[in-house]
């Protein structure tokens, strides 16, 4: 039997436990790893992005901005709780709808009549399907 195929050549003692250097450490690492969950975006980041659009659009003053941001923060946290709830889809849909209506009502409490109209228009723009511009 040639020496290179023995224990000190390409066998168990030569290039690692399975002949490729690293052995089973890579396989063990991938097996022990749990499936990665998408990283959750902090509520504050989401609220800040919403407020970046909303503040200039509605011409909110500093107090309105704080109050509306607090309402949105509360709403997003409630949405997170609803998402994790084990109730059926129909029930979740009703709860999301109720949460949306409550959030709108609370936001409107801090707005004047002109701002409420702008808020409604902003919501309509967000919910209506976007029309694609045709290239000529």
Residue 69 and residue 55: Cα distance in Å, rounded?
10
Count of beta carbons in the 10 Å neighbourhood of residue 19: 12
Q: Provide mean pLDDT across the span 23-52.
A: 73
Residue 14 and residue 124: Cα distance in Å, rounded?
70
pLDDT digits (tens, 9 = 90+) for 55-102: 999 999 999 999 999 999 999 999 999 988 888 889 999 999 999 999
Q: Provide mean pLDDT across the span 93-114.
A: 96
Q: In this structure, are residues 92 and 82 in contact, taking their beta carbons and an 8 Å threshold?
A: yes
List, in order, residues 6 or more apart from 11 with CB less than 8 Å away.
5, 19
Name the pTM for this structure: 0.65
Q: Provide mean pLDDT across the span 33-38.
A: 65
The closest alpha carbon to 115, from 54, 27, 29, 71, belongs to: 54
Structure tokens at 62: 């500093």
Q: What percent of the chain has pLDDT over 70?
A: 67
pLDDT of residue 21 exceeding 70: no
Q: In this structure, are residues 5 and 14 in contact, taking their beta carbons and an 8 Å threshold?
A: no
């Amino acid at each position: 039997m040639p020496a290179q195929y023995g224990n000190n050549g390409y066998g168990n003692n030569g290039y690692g436990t399975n002949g490729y250097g690293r052995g089973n450490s890579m396989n063990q690492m991938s097996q022990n790893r749990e499936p990665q969950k998408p990283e959750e975006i902090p509520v504050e980041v989401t609220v800040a992005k919403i407020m970046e659009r909303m503040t200039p659009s509605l011409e909110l003053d500093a107090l309105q901005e704080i109050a509306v941001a607090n309402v949105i923060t509360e709403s997003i946290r409630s949405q997170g709780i609803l998402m994790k709830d084990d109730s059926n889809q129909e029930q979740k849909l009703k709860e999301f709808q109720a949460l949306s209506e409550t959030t709108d009502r609370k936001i409107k409490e801090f707005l004047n009549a002109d701002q409420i109209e702008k808020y409604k228009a902003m919501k309509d723009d967000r919910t209506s399907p976007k029309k694609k511009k045709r290239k000529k």
